[in-house]
Amino acid sequence: MCREFLERPEMKEMGNEIERVLDQPQLVKRSRSDEAVLSFYEFYTQTMVGGKWLCVVVKYLENDAFVVTAYLTDKPKPGEDLSHLRCPAILTFCTFLDGRKDAVVSACPR
The predicted structure's pLDDT at residue 73: 95
The candidate with the shortest Cα–Cα distance to 18, out of 63, 51, 66, 78, is: 66
Q: Pick from 83, 106, 107, 99: which is nearest to 3 by CA?
A: 99
Complete DSSP assignment for 1-37: ---GGGGSGGGGGGTTHHHHHHHS-SEEEE-SS-TTE
* Pairing, β 80-81 against β 27-30: antiparallel
pLDDT of residue 19: 84
What is the pTM for the complete model shown?
Answer: 0.75
What are the phi and psi torsion angles at 47 (to 5°)? -115, 175
Give the model confidence (pLDDT) of 37-82 as tens digits: 999 999 999 988 999 999 999 998 888 888 889 999 999 999 999 8
pLDDT digits (tens, 9 = 90+) for 3-26: 677 778 788 788 788 888 988 899
Helices then strands, counting H and E runs in the chain, come out as 1, 7
